[in-house]
Amino acid sequence: QILRYQPGTVSGNVTPVVIEFRRRIERGAISLQAEGSTDLATWTPATVSEEIFSNDGTFEWVRVTVDAPADKPFFIRLKASR
């Protein structure tokens, strides 16, 4: 469940994109990796910074900032794996 999506201000050739979501703290062996693409065909690991800004013991609220290119469309997905 995405709580907030907000594109940032262009700095040089990068636009920071902020995505906030909640995730279960005990998620077992599942890991999440943000990936980015400019054409929806080729996906590569995205440059991200992650901040956990709240938790209630069951869920944590996460703020992820992804550096997206400022001069072309950029798509983001989360890849889940075990």
Question: Closest Cα to residue 46, out of 5, 71, 77?
Answer: 77
Strand ranges (E), 1-82: 2-7, 14-24, 31-37, 44-45, 48-55, 59-69, 75-81
pTM, entire model:
0.70
Average pLDDT over residues 64-81: 86
What's the pLDDT score for residue 10? 62
What SS3 class is residue 56? coil
Q: What is the pLDDT of residues 55-72, one digit of tens each?
A: 999 999 988 888 888 888
- Residue in this structure with the two tokens 């209630």, named with its chain if needed: 56
pLDDT band at 7 (very low <50, low <70, confident <90, very high): low
